[in-house]
């Protein structure tokens, strides 16, 4: 056993032994501050209660998910607040150390001593804004019989006890159940997705101001390079802060998937939108929690795990300017029983391409070019959970998607009748299975295994009249195999509450295969793998218990996390993260965090075949203006992980008069070092660029040239036999750790819900200001890249105003804003204006018509209501004269869609 794993095992053992039986009584007797709006779903309210009480909640969401709670605002005794929340729901609770289990009340539960009826104990006036009435002096644990798991088992006969499926509360950003993260998390609910009118997971994420539309995204056209890599399979990825698709960790139900296209990025277009329950976006570095890739943040797609009945959906959409016709069909079926549940979801989506000839701004000669690809996708998701005993739950889930994507470029502006086309086929599956189990002293554990593969075949065909060009084919295959152990629970008790600890260990194997050939000639073949061992721990300590009568120090909580990972190819990394949750007053919450993160290089960057070429190139030091340059490019086995340090400060104001609304501001500062770039892509004329001086060797010796020539077969572009005497310089153009970035900015998020009669008005705004300064090499100056075309905008915002009636009607208006951009990199003195678009959606819930319609609904959506074209980009010498920035604007135009969802339960 390695030293970190041994230390982790010892820490786990000590923590379990340190937990005491008095945890539950102490926690339930403490006073907590709550701000729960009226008609809040019970499962959401229980999450808020658990965060304040510092206790884990285990619940059956098939029963809690349909219940609503009254408003609760003020300071309450934890036991009284819990009883008030459950009052009238028909649910009861059982306490074991620092864990509260909620389940349907059995007949005679009050007398059995196992589950306690909430109705009999509720003494809080929920709507009284903190007013208490007749609060009992003793905790329920003093009068209700045994509280530990072991005693509960002894008080019931085996025939009376039935396993109940329970779900623990875990949020993105922490491994500790019932504890809020110290970093800000943006939640996109299923209702948010429906009201947006977006028809793919990629569109939903790109609409978020914190996520840049560039990088590895199918919507990017007319621009390639380090920030926008070649997209062979038509993938879409999350790109938080614009730091690159491979700097955002993407999870599905908290688990990793295989990467796409040779990068360390997950293709989210393969996730069926109809299977999404919510999306949680952590906008802070989190490698101490999750490991590599979580530099800019984490996007966790939480898919539906429970559903009762059958639901069918159909969506149709079209662009009023032409192209982009959409059809999407979905079917969801599920069933729950007392000890388990299962569901299956299928989705088919097909969308035609958008052609440049259908839009007014591209150069007419590019008319047949696809501005947006044509796609067809089939996805299936299955999930099953089963309680085997009172303490052991088994779970399994699987996702499979198959997609084709068509891209076409009309190259007639280069060579008459030249066309380039590809029809890629990508497939992905991910399977997760495991068990969740209860342990002594209120601890809980999870053991899980993940298997995932991503495969794509990307044939690229170039056609010229009268010239036969063999089809170039690239095959990519990425694989992931992982086993993870995780345990969390109470460690010790302070007067302020219970301290909780999460510990875990994991093993992961990543594989990558690429085959690139044209006809019988193989250009590149890669078959690589790595092994990753990791150990991690997270500690949450409540330093000051909540108290409204203590001005300036209502509550204070400290969080410490650390993760060690050992890579078989790039060595080990240890990263920490510390955080504080400080509430100076009941309505004000401050979150502060500081931590380190890292991003491991891709196997493609490490193992890609090294190209060796000698070619004439521009040289200002040569009398003739050109010199022979011997250079190497492509992969580099010596590339190291990228590293970052991030500090985040978040303040949230949630006064009672907002009735559940809030105003939130976040400042972030990230220093991103040793960024991996292709040095050759920085400038293909390296002898003319002073920034590339560290990678140039002038007047190389024969031995130095021989070292380059030994790295691969030589491609001689000089037209003469290779002569070492004619080589003026060497250039190491391989990928390398060269760039540094400094990222700073502010997020502002506000939301409110105003009851109006039997309905409500909802208001929300999300805006971000971003500043990225980049130094490409140690010899180049720092430059601002935000606010320049094909890079993130300095300012983006999205606001909404919605109304929902008590009779089933609802409508929402959205306003999207992207700030103006400098086009100096394209043509000096060029600037493009800001882009403002408006979206609108109207919905009618058929449930208002009566029981036969269940939860059925119909939705009409219009994106870009006023049909605003992207800001015009003057590009006189562009690679592809489409005249718009596809990373910050969409070519879709006004898009109208109609969706019908029929649900029977």
pLDDT tens-digit series, residues 276-309: 999 999 999 999 999 999 999 999 999 988 888 9
Q: Does the pLDDT at position 114 exceed 60?
A: no
CB atoms within 10 A of CB 414: 12
Which is it for the CA torsion 219, 224, 225, 230, positive or negative?
Answer: positive
pLDDT in tens, 557-607: 999 999 999 999 999 999 999 999 999 998 999 999 999 999 999 999 999
Query: Encoding tokens for residue 652?
Result: 């949230």
- The torsion angles phi and psi of 518, rounded to 5 degrees, stand at -130, 110
pLDDT score of 226: 56
Q: What is the pLDDT of residue 282?
A: 96
d(CA 515, CA 523): 8
CA pair distance 694, 697, nearest whole angstrom: 8
Strands 727-756 and 795-804: unpaired
| pLDDT value, residue 59 | 75
Q: Give the pLDDT of residue 115.
A: 54
Q: What average pLDDT does the chain have?
A: 84
User: What pLDDT shows up at residue 75?
Assistant: 66
8 has pLDDT over 50: no
The one-character DSSP state at 132 is B
Residue 676: closest CA among 628, 737, 731 = 737
Q: Using CB atoms within 10 A of its CB, is residue 359 exposed (0-12), middle (13-18) or buried (19+)?
A: buried
Under the banding of pLDDT at 50, 70 and 90, the label for residue 117 is: low
Please determine, for residue 544, whether its predicted confidence score (pLDDT) is greater than 60. yes
Strand partners, 729: 629, 698
805: tokens are 């009636």
Task: List the structure tokens of 467.
Answer: 């010239």
pLDDT of residue 162: 57
User: Tokens at residue 333, please?
Assistant: 């079926």
| Residue 694: closest CA among 703, 682, 706, 705 | 682
282 in Cβ contact with 173 (< 8 Å): yes
pLDDT for 251 equals 95
Whether 29 has a pLDDT exceeding 80, the answer reads no
Determine the Cα–Cα distance for residues 623 and 614; give it in Å rounded to an integer: 19
CA–chain centroid gap for 530, Å, is 24
- pLDDT given for residue 31 in this prediction: 67
User: What are the pLDDT digits (tens) for 365-415?
Assistant: 888 899 999 999 999 999 999 999 888 999 999 999 999 999 888 877 777
| Distance between CA atoms of residues 847 and 902, nearest Å | 10
pLDDT band at 829, cuts 50/70/90?
confident
Q: Which band of pLDDT confidence, cut at 50, 70 and 90, is reported for residue 94?
A: confident
Residue 666 Cα distances to 183, 186, 333, angstroms: 9, 12, 40
| pLDDT at site 733 | 93
Give CA torsion, residues 879, 884, 886, 892, to 10 deg.
Answer: -130
Q: Buried b vs exposed e over 500-539: b needs ≥16 C-beta within 10 Å? A: bbbbbbbebebbbbbbbbeeeeeebebebebebbbbbbbb
Q: What is the mean pLDDT of residues 819-828?
A: 85
| Residue 559 in tokens | 């969080």
**Which residue from 881, 770, 877 is spatially nearest to 214, judged by alpha carbons?**
770
Per-residue pLDDT band for 150 (boundaries 50, 70, 90) equals very low
**Closest C-alpha to 327, from 358, 355, 352, 354:** 352
- Quickly tell me which residue has 């401050």 as its tokens: 590
The torsion of the CA quartet 439, 442, 443, 445, rounded to 10 degrees, works out to 60
Range 36-65 average pLDDT: 71
Residues 6+ apart with CB under 8 A from 864: 837, 838, 839, 890, 892, 893, 894, 895
Question: Across-strand partners of 499?
Answer: 492
Handedness of CA 47, 49, 52, 56 (dihedral sign): negative
More confident residue, 491 or 92: 491
Residues 152-169 have pLDDT tens digits of: 333 333 344 456 665 555
Q: Report whether pLDDT(270) > 90.
A: no
Q: Does the pLDDT of residue 132 top 80, yes or no?
A: no
pLDDT of residue 803: 93
**Between the ranges 95-99, 522-526, 575-579, where is the mean pLDDT highest?**
575-579
pLDDT of residue 143: 30
pLDDT of 338 strictly over 90: no
> DSSP H helical segments within 665-711, as ranges?
679-682, 702-709
Q: Please state, in angstroms and rounded to a whole number, the distance separating the CA atoms of residues 113 and 92.
A: 11
pLDDT at position 3 is 41
Confidence at residue 60, expressed as pLDDT on a 0 to 100 scale: 64
pLDDT score at 644: 97
Q: How many helices and strands in the chain, by DSSP H and E?
A: 13, 44
Q: How far is CA 297 from CA 240, 311, 559, 602, in A?
A: 6, 33, 18, 18
830 backbone dihedrals φ, ψ, rounded to 5°: -85, 140
Kindly list the strands in the beta sheet with 276-282, ordered across the sheet, starting from the edge strand earlier in the chain: 185-189, 276-282, 297-303, 248-252
> Model confidence at 877, in pLDDT bands (50, 70, 90)?
low
- Give the whole-angstrom CA distance, residue 58 versus residue 63: 12
Task: Count Cβ atoms below 10 Å from residue 866 Cβ, excluding itself.
Answer: 9
Q: Which residue(s) pair with 302 in the sheet?
A: 278
- Classified as helix, coil or strand, 622 is coil
Q: Percent of the chain having pLDDT more than 90?
A: 56
């Amino acid at each position: 056993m390695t030293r970190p794993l041994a230390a982790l095992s010892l820490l786990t053992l000590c923590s379990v032994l340190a937990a005491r039986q008095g945890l539950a009584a102490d926690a339930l007797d403490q006073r907590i501050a709550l701000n729960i709006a009226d008609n809040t779903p019970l499962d959401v309210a229980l999450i808020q209660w658990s965060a304040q009480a510092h206790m884990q909640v285990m619940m059956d969401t098939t029963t809690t998910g349909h219940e609503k709670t009254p408003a609760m605002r003020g300071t309450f005794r934890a036991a009284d607040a819990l009883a008030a929340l459950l009052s009238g729901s028909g649910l009861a609770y059982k306490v074991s150390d620092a864990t509260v289990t909620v389940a349907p009340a059995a007949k005679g539960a009050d007398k059995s001593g196992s589950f306690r009826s909430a109705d009999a104990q509720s003494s809080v006036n929920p709507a009284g804004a903190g007013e208490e009435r007749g609060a009992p002096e003793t905790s329920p644990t003093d009068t209700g019989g045994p509280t530990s798991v072991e005693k509960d088992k002894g008080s019931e006969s085996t025939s009376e006890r039935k396993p109940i499926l329970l779900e623990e509360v875990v949020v993105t950003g922490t491994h500790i159940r019932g504890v809020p993260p110290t970093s800000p998390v943006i939640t996109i609910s299923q209702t948010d997705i429906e009201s947006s009118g977006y028809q793919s997971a990629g569109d939903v994420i790109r609409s978020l101001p914190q996520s840049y539309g560039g990088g590895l995204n199918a919507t990017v056209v007319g621009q390639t390079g380090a920030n926008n890599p070649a997209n062979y399979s038509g993938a879409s990825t999350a790109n938080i802060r614009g730091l690159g698709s491979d700097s955002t960790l993407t999870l599905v139900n908290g688990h990793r998937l295989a990467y796409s296209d040779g990068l360390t990025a997950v293709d989210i277009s393969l996730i069926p939108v109809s299977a999404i329950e919510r999306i949680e976006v952590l906008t802070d570095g989190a490698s101490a929690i999750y490991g590599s890739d979580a530099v800019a943040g984490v996007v966790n797609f939480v898919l539906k795990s429970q559903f009762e009945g059958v639901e069918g959906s159909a969506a149709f959409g079209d662009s009023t300017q032409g192209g982009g016709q959409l059809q999407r069909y979905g079917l969801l079926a599920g069933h729950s029983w007392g000890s388990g549940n299962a569901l299956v979801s299928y989705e088919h989506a097909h969308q035609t391409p958008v052609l440049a000839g259908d839009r007014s701004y591209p150069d007419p000669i590019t008319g047949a070019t696809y501005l947006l690809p044509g796609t067809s996708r089939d996805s299936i998701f299955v999930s099953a959970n089963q309680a085997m005993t009172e303490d052991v739950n088994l779970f399994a889930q699987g996702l499979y998607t198959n997609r084709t994507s068509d891209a076409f470029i009309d190259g007639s502006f280069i060579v008459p009748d030249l066309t380039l086309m590809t029809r890629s086929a990508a497939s992905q599956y991910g399977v997760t299975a495991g068990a969740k189990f209860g342990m002594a002293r209120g601890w809980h554990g999870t053991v899980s295994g993940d298997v995932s593969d991503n495969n794509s075949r990307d044939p690229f065909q170039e056609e010229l009249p009268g010239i036969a060009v063999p089809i170039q084919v690239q095959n990519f295959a990425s694989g992931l195999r992982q086993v993870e152990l995780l345990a969390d629970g109470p460690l010790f008790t302070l007067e302020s509450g219970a301290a909780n600890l999460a510990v875990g260990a994991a093993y992961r194997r990543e594989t990558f295969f690429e085959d690139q050939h044209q006809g019988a000639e193989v250009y590149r073949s890669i078959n690589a793998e790595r092994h990753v061992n990791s150990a991690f721990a997270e500690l949450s300590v409540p330093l000051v218990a909540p108290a409204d009568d203590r001005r300036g120090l209502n509550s204070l909580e400290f969080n410490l996390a650390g993760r060690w990972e050992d890579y078989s190819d790039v060595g080990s990394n240890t990263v920490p993260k510390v955080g504080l949750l400080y509430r100076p007053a009941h309505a004000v919450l401050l979150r502060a965090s500081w931590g380190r993160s890292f991003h491991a290089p891709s196997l493609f960057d490490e193992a890609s075949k090294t190209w060796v070429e000698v070619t004439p190139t521009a040289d200002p030091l040569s009398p003739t203006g050109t010199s022979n340059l011997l250079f190497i490019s492509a992969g580099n086995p010596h590339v190291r992980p990228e590293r970052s340090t991030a500090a985040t400060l978040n303040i949230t104001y949630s006064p009672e008069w907002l009735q559940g609304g809030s105003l939130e501001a976040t400042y972030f500062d990230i220093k991103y070092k040793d960024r991996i770039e292709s040095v050759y892509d920085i400038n293909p004329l390296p002898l003319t660029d002073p920034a590339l001086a560290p990678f140039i060797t002038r007047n190389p010796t024969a031995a130095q040239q021989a070292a380059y020539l030994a790295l691969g077969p030589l491609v001689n572009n000089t037209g003469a036999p290779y002569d070492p005497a004619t080589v003026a310089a060497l250039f190491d153009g391989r990928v390398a750790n060269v760039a540094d970035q400094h990222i700073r900015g502010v997020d502002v998020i506000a939301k409110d819900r105003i009851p109006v009669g039997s309905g409500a008005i909802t208001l929300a705004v999300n805006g971000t200001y971003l500043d990225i300064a980049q130094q490409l090499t140690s010899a180049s100056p720092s430059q601002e890249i935000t606010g320049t075309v094909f890079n993130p905008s300095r300012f983006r915002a999205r606001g909404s105003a919605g109304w929902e009636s008590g009779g089933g009607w609802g409508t929402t208006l959205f306003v999207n804003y992207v700030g103006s951009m400098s086009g100096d990199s394209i043509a000096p003195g060029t600037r493009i204006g800001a882009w403002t678009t408006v979206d609108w959606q109207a919905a009618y819930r058929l449930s208002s018509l009566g029981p036969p319609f269940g939860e059925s609904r119909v939705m009409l959506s219009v994106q870009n209501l006023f049909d605003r074209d992207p800001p015009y980009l003057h590009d006189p010498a562009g690679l592809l004269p489409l005249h718009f920035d596809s990373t910050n604007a969409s070519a879709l135009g006004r898009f109208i869609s109609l969706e019908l969802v029929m649900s029977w339960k």
